Structure formats: C-alpha cells, structure tokens
Structure 1
Amino acid sequence: MKGSIILTFTKLTAGFVVLSLLSSCSLSAKPSQISIQDRQETASNLDTKVVKAANGFGLQIHKQLALQDPDVNIFLSPLSISMALGMAYNGSSGTTKEQMASALGWKGMSDEEINRGNQTLNTLLQKSGKGVEVHMANSMWLRKDFSFNKKFLDTNKTYYGAKAEELDFNDSDKTVQTINKWVDEQTKAKIPNLLKQVDPSDVMFLVNAVYFKGAWTQEFRTADTKDDLFKKKNGSSKTVKMMSQQGSYEYVKAEDYEAVRLPYGEGQMDLLVVLPDEQSTLQALQEKIWQDPSQFQKPFKKSSGQIRIPRFKAEYGKSLIESLKKMGMNIPFDPLQADLSRIAATPPNLFIGKVTHKSYIEVNEKGTEAAAATVVGVKTTSLEQPQDPFDLKVDRPFFIAIEDRQTGAWLFVGSIVEP
C-alpha cells in the first residue's frame, strides 16, 4: 500500500487534497527493527480514543456508501481519511470545527489529544515489525508570496512531521516537478505524477505519503488454488480462483456469521474476514458491525481448520461529501459559513469543496496489496470456539478489515459482493 495526500488551498478556485495509497508489486516485506514485545509496549501508550474514533468514523462512512451502492465492492481506509481531515481540522474554528470533530469522533477531545494521538499512531505504524512494512511522510509546500498562520504550520510540523518548503508557484512546471518528485520518492515510484498543474490561486499543498507492504505469516500454496464457484447477491454464481489453506487461526462461529483472522508477519497485523451465515445476508451482517464493531475487534479463540477464500482484486471510488453531510458535517462545505481561519487570515474565506476517496485491494497467495486515494478540495469565496475443526469457505459476499492487532486500528474496511 502506497500513498500520498495533497491538500491545496486556493485564493480563487478549488484546491484539493489527494491521499493515495498504492500497493507494492512485491510482498516480501522488509522487517522493521522492532520486536513484537517492544511494539506492544509502545502501543500501550497510545490514546485508544483516537483509534476508536478513526475506526468508528470509517465504519460510518462505509455505512453511507454501502447504503448508496449495495451491489458494488466497497473498500476504503478509515485511518487515511481521518488523518487527511485531521490536518485540515487544525485550521478550523467555531461551528466548522465542532461539526468536523463530531463527524470524526473527536467530540470532547482537545486538539492536543487528537494531534498527539495521531502522532503516536503514525510513529507506531511505522515500527511495524517483521513481515510488515509501513512508511508515512508529510510535507507542506507553500506559495512564497502568501502569508500563513505560523501556529497552523508549526502544529502540522510538530505532530505530523510535515516539513515546510516555499516554492515559486508562478513557475507551475517546476513546482509540479518538485512535489511529484517528493511523492515519487516516498511511494517508491508508484505515484510518479500526482500533481498535474498549479493554478494562480493555489497557495499551499499539504502532502501525506503512505506505504504499506505485508506478507502472510503462512503463505497459501499456489498449487492448492482451484477454480470454484462464488455465489453472487442476485443468486447466480461465478467461477473464481479459490485459495485454500489449513492451519490454526483465530476463528469464531456465531449464530449468523463466521469470522477468521489471517495474520501478516508475526501476527501484529491481519486480514479480518467476516462471512454471513447462508440464511443471512451481507446487509444484515453490516448492520451488526456498524452498530457495534467491538465484538469483531476482540480476540477470537484459536481453532484448527481450513480456510478457503477467493483470490481477488477490488477497486472503488466515490465522493464523500454527501456521506459526510449525512454524518452532520455540513458547514465545512458552505462557502459563506465555513471557518478555516486558523490556516490563514480571512478574508478570503476558505471552505472544503471536494472530498473524494479511491481505493484498491488485491488478495493473493503471498499476501495483500491495498490502495486508497482521498481528494479533499478547499475553496474560497474570493480566494465462540467450535468442538470440531472448522471449514470456512468464503463463497458469498463478505466483510473484510485490515487491522493492526496491537493498536486496534482498522487501516481498511470493505464489503466484497463480487470478487
């Protein structure tokens, strides 16, 4: 998973934020120099309210999107969206800030708690341990003839590690080249041309780059992958490449669903797969997860059994503005009422004009590749364990989450209706 965020502020026209997580071609992850024990100790110092907020926020976004498009694969990154909006949040005030905090799950938390929580989580994710590699980087690219609030810049430098560099935005080609080169380096050449042009009204780009690579703790044997049928929502079936593996996994079977965790690396991260009972539906399962995800986030008992899951790819893209509005975040998108005055002195007034998320996931015998992209535009008006071994065959629509077991963060969530 690789990615970048660009947050552009303009004086006259729309700016944008781009968060792109693109996967690496290789899944033989380079180990990070930290033991599981040391990582767990660091995780114990993490403010769990920040993780809970990001997970809850992501599930609410997932809910809105799944209700809008129930027949398509939906896959998104709650953490990346939350981080992107978090940087913009540092520039908000008044009712704009209140609505953003409410939607993001930060109501009642101080700026210090939010920023320090994101800082600790960012640091911990990059100390990912053997078999999993995560890299995050932030930067701020500033129009050299525009005045920004120093506190806003310092806050993002301190908590997000965002470097600040002034550029001559009048030289559009050179500015684009400079920023794209930085993004290209941070994402290991997976996003070579993120920015296309700089408009005369652009005053700042906030860029976040994220890279993730994970390998299964126990790879699936390619020789065991066979053609099999997957039952679609409309009752028909399609042939898929069904991977198969036997082993000991965290597994639970409830009255209306089964769930299993497939670990990466040394088990510090995993893919959570939740399959509704044949007499139930994905919609009913999702309603249960949206209402109370805690039962799916707690540890399951270890069980021996067989897991069969399709080898699949899924892509998704959608504007999040309507979903965010349904979550009560309205004023930040209002040109006349939005208050982002902590970014720069007003007038001109700044408001969010675009929030788009794009994502990609591939699951195969070696591991998981994932990608996500979020575009946020800022405009201005003038500027239980079974008795017998289990056999879980994922052959109908299912829910997934890529989760960090030590922090509890769900990096991605999704519903796969057709592999």
Structure 2
Amino acid sequence: MNRRELLALSGALAAATLSGCTGSGQADPTTQTDADTTTTPPTEMTMTPADEPPAGEPSVDDERLAALASGNAEFALDLHAHLASQDDGNQFLSPYSISVALAMTYAGARGETRKQMEEVLHYTLGEDIHPAFSDLQSALEKRETATGPGSEEELDAFQLAVANALWGQEAYSFSEDFLASLEEHYGAGLQRADFANNPDDERKRINDWVADQTEDRIENLLPAGSITPDTALVLTNAIYFMANWEHKFDPKKTQDGTFTALDGSESTVPMMQQDLRTNYASLPGAEAVELPYVGGDVSMVLILPDEGTFEEFERNLDASQLFGIFDELSDAEGTLVFPKFEFKTKVQLKKALSDLGMPVAFERAANFSGMSADGQQNLKIDDVHHEAFVSVDEEGTEAAGATAAVIGFTSLPPSWGELRFDRPFLFAIRDRLTDAVLFLGRVVDAGAAQGSE
C-alpha cells in the first residue's frame, strides 16, 4: 500500500477525524493580510441555543463517508473525554488510527463482541464500514497531489502517509475471507511471526516497522511483555503527517509570553504571532480559527473556550457541535497568537474501551471466530496500544500516530489431570468472604466413614 494516506485529522484536532474543515460554503483558502490592508474585526455571530455551539454534519456529500465521519468523531470525543477525566494533563491522539486498527479487528468479531464494538466505536454501517474506510483512504490519497499557491519547494513540504499490517502466528489457520477483506479494504497483508518461540524478537520487529512508518517518531509502541507466546495476531496502523502552514509564522515575531494552565499556574512559553486573513467563528462559549496547510485541503482548527469554561465546554462537546463549529468558520481577519508546542501521548486502551462499553472483547467470552479458518472461539483482545506525537512551530506541523491491537489466545483453565483422594486427606469448610474456618477435619479411613445407623 502507498505510504501516503492519513493523519491530517490528528494534526487537525485530537478528536476530529475526517471533518469538513474546509467544507462547502466557506471562504477560499487562507490568504495572508497585506500590511496596508485595513483590518475589520470579525463579525459576531448569533447562535441558538445561546449557551452552546450550533449543530452540524460532515460536509462530505457521500452518504457512507458522512456516516463514517460522524461515527468516528463521536468515538473520538467519547474516548478523548474519558481519558481526559482520568488525566488532567496534555493529550494527543489519532482517533483515526485507533478506529482503523479496531475496524480490522471488528472484521473478525461476532455475537455480543461485535455488538459492543459497534456501539462503542459508533460503527453504524455494519459490514459497510470496511468499504467506507477504503473510500476514505482513496480520498485521502488525493491529498498528495493537492495544489496550492507557492513554489515547488513549498508544495513538497506536505507528507501524509498511512500503513496497515497484520502479524499472525506461524501455522495458525486464519480465515481466508477475513484476510481477503483486510487486504482489499485496508491493504493489510499478513506477515507470519513466531510469537510462540520468539515473542520479544517479534515485538521488536513490529516496533521497527512502526518506527520506519512514522519517521522514528514512535519507536517503542509495544512495550516489553506486551507480546507473549499466547499472542495469535497483532493488527497495526501507523500514520505520519508533516506539512508547512499555507502561510508560515515569522520566527522573528515569536516572543516569550505567559500561558495560564488549567490549574491556574503560569509558565513562560514561546508564542507565535501572525496577522492573517482566514476562516474564523465567534460562537457561544468559544472562538475558533482555521489554519490551512500547504495545498489548502488539510487544516488545523483551533478552538478556544471562554475563560474559565474549558472543562465544561470540553465535557459537553459532541460530534454534532464539532461539525457545527466547522460549518460556522468563515472569512475574517485578525491577529493570532498561540504557543509553539511538542509532546507525546502513550496509552493502553483496554480499560478505557472496556469502560466505554466493550469489555467482552477483552474477556475469555470474546467471540472473534470470524478470524479463524475453523470458526474457533478462542481469541480475545489482550490490549490496544496507542501512541501519538505532535510538534507545532512557525513552519508547520509534524504528527505521528500508531495503534496495535494485540490478539491473544484465550487461556483455558489449567488441567490437573486426575486427582484421586484415595489416601488420608484434610478438609475444611470456610466462609469464602472472610476465610473464617467454620469446620476442619480429616479422613484417614474412608471405609470407617460410610455412615452409621
């Protein structure tokens, strides 16, 4: 598969995967304000209801892609909110990467496992989810040839790449239909791995593949111990994005400024500054501005909730409101000041996905029988590992994301063979909740213990 395919979404907004950031009805791509241009303050927009952003839908015309975009954004915001509730620090994810890795896993799910995955991941299309992701990949591939103002050098400063791969235990018979579907819709070919005998070597091989696909920004996606002799399959997605702003910030204008953190503490950070004309929206409870990258097809949307309202705004934001914000973006001009930043987020998603409503996929009762050639129900998800990196400066944005869904064999209860109590033994009757021993005895002659008149 061609490496250039996705990640704009990760750079656009941690929660927004495929949006209509530059949807119909919006202004032409950003143009920088000339020095002699009179700046007109952005017009305040009236929204209803007055206390929340307007509702909207994905801007894409294709019904299937719109359903994918909407469901994917719902999952993104659900996951973002859940993780944010557990950790009040910075956070950056690639919801698209997670969704793709789990969509490949979903292809083999059956029964209650499949139902829970559908609900949590907002897969409203059923089996059509796979051709929908394929359509999205095709659409994203076109971003490679996006044209816009600037020199050849500027246009070359845009890279959008995605790769999918399967790593399956040697000699395990996977369903041909399952493998064919993932090859057709995700370009994910099967690579055989000797998890049973060399689990750590295979873990390093997968990590090396991820590092290669992400320009070494993600080097240790799978931590030590995450692959074991009981691993049957690892489904991986890797994304890399690097693009210059359509209009770069002048480094000479970058100055130290004060940033007030969520807890009220202050720090001094480098703040970039630019007078520009771009898409902007003044909304109930927030302001938003859009910064396109070279070519104009991909952008970053910055959303600034009113002072003192960040947590409430973030907690209440849903996909419809997010798309509504995108819809309200329109041509305006002003001065933008925002910080340079760079950080990485690494998470294991088993608990988060279980808490959101799909615990059975991680339990012995999981049903991934669609993965095996003989329909055996002996596989479950051990964990879902995700890592994402982002760097924003005067030139543009670099971002990388990777996800690995590790599928393991369900462990059967250990067998002791036959245990014969044919010699003296002790026994106790206990209260299990307190371990209080209620009775204690021994049998040294079973023949003499056969009851009495």
Normalised TM-score (structure 1): 0.73
3-state secondary structure, aligned to 1:252: strand
Could you give the per-residue CA deviations for residues 8-56 of structure 1, whole angstroms, max 9, x where no partner exists?
xxxxxxxxxxxx99x99xxxxxxxxxxx99xxxxx65462111111111
3-state secondary structure, aligned to 2:92: strand
The number of aligned residues is 344
In the TM superposition, what are the counterparts of 1:13-412 in structure 2 within 5 Å? 44-45=61-62, 47-69=65-87, 71-107=88-124, 109-111=125-127, 113-128=128-143, 129-130=146-147, 131=155, 132-166=158-192, 172=198, 182-183=209-210, 185-188=212-215, 190=217, 199-278=228-307, 280-290=308-318, 292-335=321-364, 337-344=365-372, 345=374, 347=376, 349-382=378-411
3-state secondary structure, aligned to 1:74: coil
Q: Specify the code of the residue in structure 1 equivalent to 2:132.
A: G
Could you give the per-residue CA deviations for residues 353-375 of structure 1, whole angstroms, max 9, x where no partner exists?
21233322111101112233434
Q: Could you say if the C-alpha distance between residues 85 and 230 of structure 1 is closer, same or farther in structure 2, counting changes exceeding 3 Å?
A: same
How far has the Cα of 1:189 moved from its partner? 5.1
The structure, 1 or 2, with the larger RCO (C-alpha pairs under 8 Å, 6+ apart) is 1
RMSD: 3.1
CA distance in 1, matches of 2:295, 2:131: 27
How far has the Cα of 1:314 moved from its partner? 2.7
Could you give the per-residue CA deviations for residues 302-349 of structure 1, whole angstroms, max 9, x where no partner exists?
1111000011123223332332223221211221x2101111145562
How far has the Cα of 1:141 moved from its partner? 3.3
3-state secondary structure, aligned to 1:376: strand
Higher mean Cα deviation, 374-383 or 263-272? Answer: 374-383
Which structure has more strand as a fraction of its residues? 1
CA distance in 2, matches of 1:271, 1:180: 29
Contact 1:183 1:194 survives alignment (8 Å): yes
How far has the Cα of 1:170 moved from its partner? 6.5
How far has the Cα of 1:243 moved from its partner? 0.2
Q: Specify the code of the residue in structure 2 equivalent to 1:311.
A: K
CA distance in 1, matches of 2:355, 2:310: 22
Q: Specify the code of the residue in structure 2 equivalent to 1:293.
A: L
Unpaired runs of 5+ residues, structure 2, are: 12-22, 25-59, 148-154, 413-453
CA distance in 2, matches of 1:315, 1:185: 17
Q: Specify the code of the residue in structure 2 equivalent to 1:265.
A: V
Could you give the per-residue CA deviations for residues 141-190 of structure 1, whole angstroms, max 9, x where no partner exists?
33342211111111101111112344555674885676566545544455
CA distance in 1, matches of 2:221, 2:260: 38
3-state secondary structure, aligned to 1:120: helix
Q: Specify the code of the residue in structure 2 equivalent to 1:342.
A: G
Q: Could you say if the C-alpha distance between residues 207 and 246 of structure 1 is closer, same or farther in structure 2, counting changes exceeding 3 Å?
A: same
How far has the Cα of 1:293 moved from its partner? 2.0
Higher mean Cα deviation, 184-193 or 206-215? Answer: 184-193
How far has the Cα of 1:95 moved from its partner? 0.8
Contact 1:363 1:369 survives alignment (8 Å): yes
Could you give the per-residue CA deviations for residues 176-206 of structure 1, whole angstroms, max 9, x where no partner exists?
6765665455444555676679744333343
Unpaired runs of 5+ residues, structure 1, are: 4-19, 25-35, 38-42, 384-419
Q: Could you say if the C-alpha distance between residues 95 and 264 of structure 1 is closer, same or farther in structure 2, counting changes exceeding 3 Å?
A: same
How far has the Cα of 1:124 moved from its partner? 1.8
3-state secondary structure, aligned to 2:264: coil
CA distance in 1, matches of 2:403, 2:99: 10
3-state secondary structure, aligned to 2:171: coil
Q: Specify the code of the residue in structure 2 equivalent to 1:331.
A: V
3-state secondary structure, aligned to 1:47: helix
Q: Could you say if the C-alpha distance between residues 338 and 199 of structure 1 is closer, same or farther in structure 2, counting changes exceeding 3 Å?
A: closer
Normalised TM-score (structure 2): 0.68
3-state secondary structure, aligned to 1:91: coil
Determine the structure 2 residue equivalent to 1:414: none
Q: Could you say if the C-alpha distance between residues 371 and 171 of structure 1 is closer, same or farther in structure 2, counting changes exceeding 3 Å?
A: same
CA distance in 2, matches of 1:98, 1:293: 26
